[in-house]
């Protein structure tokens, strides 16, 4: 099955700086890569996603890059703000072929220092 590794487990950055979270996956059949933000006690919320036919996607201060050859994808947050503090999860999905369901990384606790 799929295996998703996520680094770092904790990331502390100064407000206004950029944050980068990296993930690798093992299954070359994976073709959908979402990123979720989870605040304490809340449900995971999708913040951005990318499909395997695209190398980069951007939405305001958030961007995701995908390198299919190396099987890794990254989340980039620029001009970080206090409300960006949360746990971020990457995930991978290999849709079709009979199996389904996301495989998640173990999460990154992002701390924005004022």
Partner 1 sequence: NAGVTQTPKFRVLKTGQSMTLLCAQDMNHEYMYWYRQDPGMGLRLIHYSVGEGTTAKGEVPDGYNVSRLKKQNFLLGLESAAPSQTSVYFCASRTSGSQETQYFGPGTRLLVL
Q: Which residues bind partner 1 (CB under 8 A)?
A: 1, 6, 9, 32, 34, 42-46, 49, 89, 93, 95, 99-107
CB nearer partner 1, residue 55 or residue 82: 55
**Closest distance to partner 1 from the beta carbon of 22 (Å):** 15
Q: Are strands 108-113 and 56-59 parallel, antiparallel or unpaired?
A: unpaired
> Nearest CA to 27 among 102, 86, 87, 88?
102
CB nearer partner 1, residue 71 or residue 109: 109
> Nearest CA to 6 among 97, 103, 81, 93?
103
CB nearer partner 1, residue 71 or residue 78: 71
**Closest distance to partner 1 from the beta carbon of 108 (Å):** 10
- Tokens 């369901």: give the residue: 101
Tokens coding 56? 């980069």
């Amino acid at each position: 099955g799929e295996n998703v590794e996520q680094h770092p487990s904790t990331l502390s950055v100064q407000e206004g700086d950029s944050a980068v979270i990296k993930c690798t996956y093992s299954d070359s059949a994976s073709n959908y890569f979402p990123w979720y933000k989870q605040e304490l006690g809340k449900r995971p919320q999708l913040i951005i996603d990318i499909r395997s036919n695209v190398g980069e996607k951007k939405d305001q201060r958030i961007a995701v890059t995908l390198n299919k050859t190396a099987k890794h994808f990254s989340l980039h947050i620029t001009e970080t703000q206090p409300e960006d503090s949360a746990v971020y999860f990457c995930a991978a999905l290999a849709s079709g072929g009979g199996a389904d369901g996301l495989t998640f990384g173990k999460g990154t606790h992002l701390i924005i220092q004022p």
